[in-house]
A and B are shown apart, each in its own frame.
Chain A
Amino acid sequence: MEKYVYSAQSLDSAMREYEREYCVSSEKVYAAYHAGECIEGVSRFTQSVWASFYEEVLRLTDGEGLADEPIMTRVGRALVGA
């Protein structure tokens, strides 16, 4: 069995790939996931994985995230719908 590792950087890269593929921000997906809403064109499984990666990045970076803007700030804005 080949052993692989993941990091905040690799998970963040995967999320950016999702963003490019589905043309929707991670923040929007995360907020929708928690609201129990579906996003057209994004399967429930993909939403679940996307949200999982999102939370893992936050955990691995102590809530800071990796993007220019701290993820927690963007999460907060997404959750209040601003």
Chain B
Amino acid sequence: MDVWEYFQTRDREIAECSLRMVEGISPYAEEEGNDQRGMVFCSLAFNGYDPDSTYLSIHEVVAVRGSGITRIRYAYFLVINGVEIGGYERHATHDPPVHQHCSGKKPHETAPSKVVSFKEAAQEAWKYVSEFGTPEGVGADVEED
């Protein structure tokens, strides 16, 4: 197994979550000379929403461990209408290592969290986007006098 197998899975999950890559970016890379470790780094657009203002930013550092993949680090952050709403992070040198930034009570507030999968983070993000995001095309045909 190498990181590219994992990246293919990530690609599939992105589509399953009704998200899409912003065109022109290369989100996956392996460490030079080591296909057992790699990174994901990109912004994902929500189908039906303006990708310039509403998106999910993701970053992962992954490594092959035995027959599986470990996300050594991840960050999934949601931006709606240009504002970073919050997100989930896992990072061994943080206390607590797995946490979230999305209480909505004050900026950058951190709270412990369970480990979340990418799909869980995406599904959580969709709840916020559905409620607070502006669908593509809304207001586009309105002309001002």
Give every chain B residue within 8 A of A73 (Cβ-Cβ): none
Choose among A1, A5, A38, A43 the residue that contacts B32 (Cβ–Cβ < 8 A). A5
Choose among B29, B84, B93 the residue that contacts A44 (Cβ–Cβ < 8 A). B84
Contact surface of B with A, Cβ cutoff 8 Å: 4, 7-8, 11, 26, 28-33, 39, 41, 57, 59, 61, 73, 75, 77, 79, 84, 87, 89, 91, 93-94, 101, 107-108, 110
Choose among B79, B89, B93, B108 the residue that contacts A38 (Cβ–Cβ < 8 A). B108
With both beta carbons as reference points, the residue of chain A lying nearest to B86 in the complex is identified as A44
Give every chain B residue within 8 A of A34 (Cβ-Cβ): 93-94
A48 sits at the interface (CB 8 A): yes
Give every chain A residue within 8 A of B30 (Cβ-Cβ): 3-6
A52 sits at the interface (CB 8 A): yes
A-B pairs with beta carbons under 8 Å apart, 20 shown: A4-B26, A4-B30, A5-B32, A6-B30, A6-B31, A7-B31, A34-B93, A34-B94, A38-B107, A38-B108, A43-B77, A43-B84, A45-B59, A45-B77, A49-B41, A51-B91, A52-B59, A52-B75, A52-B91, A60-B31
A66, chain B: closest CB distance, angstroms:
14
Choose among B11, B77, B79 the residue that contacts A1 (Cβ–Cβ < 8 A). B11
Give every chain A residue within 8 A of B110 (Cβ-Cβ): 36
State whether A48 touches B61 (Cβ < 8 A). Answer: no
State whether A4 touches B73 (Cβ < 8 A). Answer: no
A19 sits at the interface (CB 8 A): no
A64 sits at the interface (CB 8 A): no
State whether A48 touches B91 (Cβ < 8 A). Answer: yes
State whether A1 touches B59 (Cβ < 8 A). Answer: no
State whether A6 touches B77 (Cβ < 8 A). Answer: no
A8, chain B: closest CB distance, angstroms:
8
Choose among B28, B75, B107 the residue that contacts A4 (Cβ–Cβ < 8 A). B28
List 10 other contacts, CB 8 Å, given A36-B108, A48-B59: A1-B4, A3-B29, A3-B30, A4-B26, A6-B31, A38-B107, A45-B59, A45-B84, A52-B39, A52-B91
